[in-house]
Structure 1
Amino acid sequence: MTVPEARAGEAAEPARGERKSPGERTDGAGAPEGPSPAATAGQGAGGDPGAGAGRPRRRQARGEARIAQLLDAAADVFSASGYNGASTNAIAREAGVSPGTLYQFFPNKEAIAVELGDQLMHRWRETYGAAFVVSHLELPLDRLLDAVLDPLIAFNCENPAFAVLTHGSGIPGVISREHDALHATMLSRTEQLLAAYLPEVPADRIARIAAMSFVLFQAGLDLVMSHEGAERDAYVTELKAVMYRYLEPLACDRPDTGAQAAKDTP
């Protein structure tokens, strides 16, 4: 969906004071024009809106539950409609609150996306950090793939909004930059593990194997995510089969001492 289409979709809901500034309310019914206090608080030093990217204003403890409720609703709306197709009105309806209540915590859709993206990427770091450990290299290849891929697949299936906010069009730039940095870190970690698993393979080929493994995983994950139930499980099995058949010829030539000599990276 293009940006013009998204604006046309949001126009169906009552809106006032639509402005281009990310610090202003853009799609709330009856919302007053001009920047909200939360928008001003979300800006970084020097007034750069990109530094804070519309982050919510300082919270009180009693508002944490409401923020969690709004972010859960936003995840559902982003998953169903995409980022461009979502609106603050739709998120408020999904959360069962008024747009005015939503604006007490977030100035606009961008701020909600940035906050939700921060949380999801933090949890993604924890997930792949637990999966990409050198101790798994002591396992046979099929069990190694289970140990590494199962938590990554489970996270994406349980959090479909993560794919929307990291691969969708029109998402806030701060999310794109953070995801690019995260992707580079994951690729580097994959190369480290492969180098420990396949110590006889030259570094330049390890880099290519890591990049190819990423592409294979992402393509298979897209198919997994597009199905449910038994059919999703079947695609998970196919994805692991593809990864196994790609890596198994290399693993056959691996010295037995390769994994034993490896140590966990920080």
Structure 2
Amino acid sequence: MPEQPAGPHGPDDTATAKEQPRRRQARGERRIQQLLEAAASVFCTSGYTAASTNAIAREAGVSPGTLYQFFPNKEAIAVELGDRLMHDLRDTYGEALAPIDPGTSLTDAVGATVDRLTAFNTEHPVFFALMHGPDVPGGITEAHDALHTNLIGRVEDLLASLLPPDADKAHITRTAHVSLGIYKAGLELVLSHEGAERQAYIQEIKDVLTRYLEPLVGDRLGRSAG
């Protein structure tokens, strides 16, 4: 059987034609990731309002024209960055706020939860810069509000499993808001320090939350040894 020619309609050209869009797509995704990482750095350093597309392009090592091939403005970059971070955070707080084994001490339960959440925020400081700064981009405000509502709901569910069965729903909601408020207030201090001082602030958050929840939870969780 004669070989088919590797010409315009040959099998080699067909395979190449299929590979080219995939390669372009992969290159495009790498470029987008490069721009998002540069934007994260600029937003953390300058804040969202003071940041510019020129600064982001410069940080990424590309021309502004290259940036505009993928994003029309800095808000579009912030929205894409925020969407990806919120997706990752949903996974994180799904693990952090999972049901607690009744044999776990309150100290250990609070410690594990705070560790998981602070690990996400210290690895992605731009999340705090975008979501909790004075200039939250308009395009991600609604998504952030939905995430916050979801997070409060998860904290309420967790607290409902720890508090007495007859605990008032409004009381659980208030406790969830205060607990999350304590965490967020401490998080700003955590992110503004490094090394041993950062760890000290993380421990302070754990201690405050444990002491706040201990009278409410009572003996429903085990006590830590010692």
Q: Shorter-chain TM-score: what band?
A: 0.7 to 0.9
Shift of 1:136: 4.8
Matched, 1:252 2:204: no
Paired letter, 1:134: P
Describe the SS at the equivalent of 2:35. Answer: helix
Identity %: 59
Describe the SS at the equivalent of 1:92. Answer: helix
Shift of 1:141: 0.6
Paired letter, 1:248: E
Normalized against structure 2, the TM-score is what? Answer: 0.83
Residues 149-164 of structure 1: pairs in structure 2 closer than 5 A: 149-164=114-129
Change (3 A) 1:122 1:76: same
Residues 70 and 95, structure 1, Cα contact 8 Å, conserved in 2 = yes
Q: Which residue of 2 aligns with 1:241?
A: 207
Change (3 A) 1:255 1:115: closer
Q: How many Å separate the matches in 2 of 1:137 and 1:69?
A: 45
Change (3 A) 1:170 1:218: closer
Deviations 1:108-147 (A, max 9, x none): 1111111111111111111101111114554111110122
Describe the SS at the equivalent of 1:106. Answer: coil
Describe the SS at the equivalent of 2:49. Answer: helix
Q: How many Å separate the matches in 2 of 1:219 and 1:170?
A: 18
Q: How many Å separate the matches in 1 of 2:204 and 2:133?
A: 25
Q: Which residue of 2 aligns with 1:47?
A: none
Please report the RMSD computed on the Cα atoms of aligned residues, expressed in angstroms. Answer: 1.7
Q: How many Å separate the matches in 2 of 1:247 and 1:95?
A: 45
Shift of 1:99: 1.0
159-168 or 196-205: bigger deviation: 196-205
Paired letter, 2:200: A
How many residue pairs align between the two structures? 198
Describe the SS at the equivalent of 2:70. Answer: coil
Change (3 A) 1:190 1:137: farther
Residues 136 and 147, structure 1, Cα contact 8 Å, conserved in 2 = no
Q: Once superposed, which parts of structure 1, at least 4 consecutive aligned residues long, lie more than 6 Å away?
A: none
1:206 alignment partner, one of 168, 172, 185:
172
Paired letter, 2:37: D
Matched, 1:123 2:88: yes
Q: How many Å separate the matches in 2 of 1:159 and 1:137?
A: 32
Paired letter, 1:110: E
Shift of 1:250: 2.2
Q: How many Å separate the matches in 1 of 2:181 and 2:49?
A: 26
Shift of 1:232: 0.6
Residues 97 and 158, structure 2, Cα contact 8 Å, conserved in 1 = yes
Q: Which residue of 1 aligns with 2:151?
A: 186
Describe the SS at the equivalent of 1:236. Answer: helix
Shift of 1:163: 1.1
Change (3 A) 1:137 1:116: farther
Shift of 1:202: 2.3
Change (3 A) 1:92 1:144: same
Q: How many Å separate the matches in 1 of 2:152 and 2:163?
A: 16
1:69 alignment partner, one of 34, 50, 64:
34
Deviations 1:176-211 (A, max 9, x none): 110011101110111111011113322221111111
Kindly indicate whether structure 1 or structure 2 has the higher relative contact order, using CA contacts under 8 Å at least 6 residues apart: 2
2:191 alignment partner, one of 202, 225, 236:
225
Q: Which residue of 2 aligns with 1:133?
A: 98
Q: How many Å separate the matches in 2 of 1:137 and 1:67?
A: 45
Structure 2 unaligned residues grouped into runs of 5+: 1-23
